[in-house]
Structure 1
């Protein structure tokens, strides 16, 4: 059976992308005690999403409950929620976070189940308690836990901010970190110093990708794509670095007093785009040059053709410019194209 295509993103207010999460509640009727479940497919703004915000969304899940009991006709609402669950899947398929809220005891209990390298299945039921045979279970959700389980940070924007803070406190030697597989961030005083730091990085995956020529080096301050087929004005793209970097850091970059760049894997973006197009049953042609790869003639099963192609370099720039992972940028861009072709975006 073919894998169904599910849009993980949706256009929000002012074109800001929103990302899907699944909310479930198990309610007990206050009159007859009949148990029913409700499921909701919701979305939340993608660019500002953090671990803390995910916890807030879990706490708000019971407020969504509301129906007429199928057994006795009594109104059932948030006060009748015994258990709630929230499921979030990273758009780059790094894994799934399931949050559980249990209100059957004397005090509400919250737990999280993290399952790496698992794609979100919007039809799968999460159960009402964590399953430690399926994933790793924690009573708190933190950045260090996310990084250990999924090998990526939750939101690369926050890693940029942390790196700038570390570098400002101790500029000597620069700052370096891995945000996700195939995505490394570097900060130094000058471009030359950043290049020298990259030459000294002792990271096996980085060195292998670097030596294989798979990495594109993109300065943060010059990361806006010149052209992006899904946006008429790429310099106004939602999530661009000017909207989330503090003013003092922007001044350093724009004044040439700091240099920040990302090393980004081309193959990771290509994989994300091709997989999304494949599940959406879109065909395409690939043209490759010495410096870039271009996907064109993107066509639906009904022979509708997208009028513009997409350069992999532009998607890589989008990832850096907006502080998301390469896989997320690939998935988001591919979904925007699919949404336009299928007239749902």
Structure 2
């Protein structure tokens, strides 16, 4: 008897075709089903004796990218109807609840054949992902690992990143926030914040595959060309200004950005706009300072802060000075002031303090 399973479920899910295999570095490997199916002396035959072993066998076949295989049921206590019911439930669980099954499988069908003392199921799996896409999935557990993989993808202007994440109970907005942080941490490549389509397989659970499809507003060739031009201009400005590092380097960089770029809210929001076009908004100026700090030897600590000023979205930097970490906002007129957290709050600034180094007065440290 043949049965078609899970096709209706798969048709209802919002699916997108992946673009390219881009990442292959693992942070940690997670094997949710540790039992290895037992072969029955035939290359494509697996023996199972319980429902969980059946689930493990299906996941094993999917993990190998196998399109078909035979599963033999040990023992003769179950009749054909019970075997079919077990297969129905196992196939549904794998396609609906297992991350790899939910991500990679279109549907599973099978036929059951009586054999001496038991039954054997011939399983056929239809995939909606290529083997290359499955092989490109990156295991990433923890905020730092997820942010790092997103940063890698954004720095290469990649169109896709797929992560297998464990101990994960967040939603797509959490991924979007990490993507924003990753973008701002790479000022040389922060030239076009892409639209992101984020899909999780399954939608809930502690183990999920997260697919992020990225759509840029400019071509990859244009973005790579602009990054190269930006890096060359940053190095030229540093050489021309004679920035050598040391305790005066930070003040030199702050003045250099102010001399090179005029603040204009509503204008460009990249370091390219600031250093090559000459005008930028708060984000562009903050990214420009961060880029120069990164290209100074030795590298100077400089973080872009994504916050608000008087209730309006505004960006600035936190830098490390001789007195500790301090805020600096290059958009403010007059003499540049390095401020503590308390001084920034009093001036109307707000930010997520958990994502930014503490800027305390010396007597508070």
- TM-score scaled by structure 2? 0.23
- The structure that is helix-richer by fraction is 2
Structure with larger Rg: 2
- TM-score scaled by structure 1? 0.24
- Indicate the structure whose relative CO is greater, using CA pairs within 8 Å and at least 6 residues apart: 1
